[in-house]
Amino acid sequence: MNEIINIAINILLDPFIQTILKIVVIIFMFVMPLATVLTLMERKWSAMIQDRVGPNRANLPFADNFRGRGALHIAADALKSIFKEDFIPRGADRFLFTIAPYFGFAAALSVFAIVPFAAPIGDFTFQITDVKPGLLYIFAITSLGVYGSVLAGASSNSKFALLGGTRASAQMLSYEVFIGISLLGIFMVYESTQISVIVDGQNTYWFGNLIPKWGIFTQPVAFVLFFVAMIAETKRAPFDAPEGESEIVAGYFLEYSGMRFGAFMLAEYIAIVGVSVLMVTLFLGGYHIPWLHLWESAPQALVTILQILKFTLLSVFFCWLQLQIRWTIPKFRFDQTMALGWKKMLPVAMANVLVTAIIILLAN
C-alpha cells in the first residue's frame, strides 16, 4: 500500500507530470468553464443592460421542464454545434478550411501557460511555466492567432470571408505593435519581461506600506493602451470590423458551421478570459493581495486560497467590463481602427515610454 502511495507521490513530483496536471487543471477548471459561462453571460448580461430577460427557454422536458434560468442554454449550444451539418463550401481549400479554426483556438489558450494564479509554495508554482522571455512569449504566440483568421478567410472561397480575412490580418498585425510598445513602460518599471518578476514587483509599496506599486498606478496610460490594444487584438467589439456583422456578414468565419464555428466562438471567449487574466497579472498586482503581508501569521493554505480567489474575481470583473464595453459603444470602421492605432495610440504609447524613461532616470 505504502509503495503505491510512494509511487504516486513520485509521479506527482515529477516536473513533467506536474506540468501536464497543471495544464489540465488550469484549462479544464478555470479557462474552459469561465469561457463557456461567458457565452451565456454575454447574452444574459447584455439582456440586463437592455432591459430584457435574456435566454431562458432551454429546458429538460423529462425533469419537470427544469430551466435553471437559462443555464441549460450552454448545453443546448454545445449540442447544437455538435450535431449541426458540418458544411464545407464548394471550391474551398478543404485542408486549410478544416485546420484554420484551431489556430486561433490554440493561440488563445497558450496565453495561460505563463500566468501565475497564486504565490509559489516552496518549489511548487501555480504557473504552468515561468519562461524567461515572459511577455515576449505572449507577443509571439498571440500573433499566431492571425493565421487562423487569414487562413479561414482565404480558404472559404467567399468574397466576404476574404475581405474579413484581410481586415483581420492588417488589424492584428498592427495592434501587435501597440501591445509591445504599450508594455515597454511596464518592462522598464519592473526591470524584467519575466512574469513572476513583474508580479512580485507589484508587491512592493510606496510610502511605507501605503500604496502598492501596481501596474495601474505606475503605468496608468499603459493600462488603457494595453487594454484597448488587447481588445483590438482579439477582434472584439468595438474593433470587430473583421467580423463586421452588418457589412461583411460575419467576415472570415462566414462559411463555417457546426463545431468549427463553435471553435471560433469559443476562441473568442477564451481570448476574453486571456485578456482579463493578463490585465490582472500586469496591472492589478497579479495574485498578490495588497497589505496581506502585514498579517504575518497567516496560514499558507488560506493565503493561497485567497490569492486564487482574488485573481479569479478580478479576472471575472475584467470579463464583465469587456462585455459591458461591447454593449455600450458602437464599432469602429476598419480604416478608423487602423487610424486610431497608428495615429493616436502609437504617439501616446511612445510618449509614455519616453516619460517613463525620464522619470526613472530622474528617480535614480
Partner 1 sequence: MEELATENKGQNLESEMEDQADASVMTIEIGPAHPAMHGIVRFTTQIDGEEIVDMIPEIGYLHRGFEKESENSKWIQITPYTDRLNYVSPLLCNIGYSMAVEKLFGVDAPRRAQYTRVIMGEISRITDHLTCLGAAAMEVGAFTFFLWFIKGREYLWELVEEVTGARLTTNWTRFGGNATDIPDGFLGELQERLEKIKDILRECDTLLTRNKIFIDRVKDVGVLSKEDSISFGFTGPMLRACGIPYDVRRSDRYSVYDDLDFEIPVGSVGDCFDRYLVRMEEMWQSISIIEQASDKLPAGPIAIDDRQLVLPDKKQVYGNIEGLIDHFKLVMEGHQAPAGEIYMPTEGGNGEVGFYLVSDGSGEPVKCRVRPPCFNFVSAMPAICKGGYVADIVPIFGSVNMIGGELDR
Partner 2 sequence: MELKVKTVNRIDGFQEALYLPAIFNGLRLTVRHFFKNLFGSREVVTIQYPEEQRHVSPRWRGRHRLTRRENGFIKCVACYMCETICPAHCIHIEAGDHPDLSIEKYPVVFDIDELRCVFCGLCVEACPKEAIRMDTGVIAMAYSSRNRFDYTRDLLKDTYRPNKETKYTDIPLPKTEEEALPNSRGIPST
Q: Where do contacts with partner 1 occur on this chain (CB under 8 A)? A: 46, 49-52, 159-160, 163, 237-238, 240-241, 244-249, 327-336
Under rule CB under 8 A, residue 324 binds partner 2:
yes
Q: How far apart are CA 142 and CA 96, in angstroms?
A: 19
Q: Which stretch binds partner 2 (CB under 8 A): 109-117, 189-197, 210-218, 325-333?
A: 325-333
Under rule CB under 8 A, residue 220 binds partner 2:
no
Minimum distance from residue 343 beta carbon to partner 2 (Å):
11
Q: How far apart are CA 311 and CA 30, in angstroms?
A: 11
Give the single-character DSSP code of 126.
S
Q: Measured between alpha carbons, how far is residue 144 from residues 104, 115, 213, 358 in Å?
A: 7, 18, 32, 34
Residue whose C-alpha cell reads 455538435 in the numeric block? 82
Under rule CB under 8 A, residue 318 binds partner 2:
no
Q: How far apart are CA 360 and CA 364, in angstroms?
A: 6
Grid coordinates of 268: 473568442
For partner 2, the closer of residues 309 and 329 by Cβ is 329
Under rule CB under 8 A, residue 85 binds partner 2:
no
Minimum distance from residue 134 beta carbon to partner 1 (Å):
33
φ, ψ for residue 205 (rounded to 5)?
A: -130, 155
Q: What is the size of the binding site for partner 2 (CB under 8 A)?
A: 14
Of the candidates 9, 49, 173, 211, which one interacts with partner 2 according to CB under 8 A?
49
Under rule CB under 8 A, residue 48 binds partner 2:
yes
53 binds, among partner 1, partner 2, none (CB under 5 to 8 A by kind): partner 2
Under rule CB under 8 A, residue 309 binds partner 2:
no
Of the candidates 30, 42, 45, 77, which one interacts with partner 2 according to CB under 8 A?
45
Nearest to 322 by CA among 250, 246, 244, 236: 236
Of the candidates 52, 69, 80, 132, which one interacts with partner 2 according to CB under 8 A?
52
Q: How far apart are CA 275 and CA 273, in angstroms?
A: 5
Minimum distance from residue 349 beta carbon to partner 2 (Å):
15
**Alpha helix positions (H), the chain:** 2-13, 15-26, 32-49, 72-83, 94-110, 135-142, 145-155, 159-190, 195-201, 215-218, 220-233, 258-283, 300-326, 334-339, 346-363
Give the single-character DSSP code of 191.
T
Q: How far apart are CA 88 and CA 100, in angstroms?
A: 13
Within a 10 A sphere around the Cβ of 277, how many other Cβ atoms?
24
Of the candidates 316, 325, 346, 359, which one interacts with partner 2 according to CB under 8 A?
325
Minimum distance from residue 272 beta carbon to partner 2 (Å):
17
Which amino acid would we find at residue 119?
A
Under rule CB under 8 A, residue 339 binds partner 2:
no
Task: List the interface residues with partner 2, window 14-33 (CB under 8 A).
Answer: none
Under rule CB under 8 A, residue 175 binds partner 2:
no
Residue whose C-alpha cell reads 528617480 in the numeric block? 363
Minimum distance from residue 278 beta carbon to partner 2 (Å):
21
Minimum distance from residue 327 beta carbon to partner 1 (Å):
5
Of the candidates 8, 53, 173, 313, which one interacts with partner 2 according to CB under 8 A?
53
Under rule CB under 8 A, residue 350 binds partner 2:
no
Binding site for partner 2 (CB under 8 A): 45, 47-53, 224, 324-325, 327-329
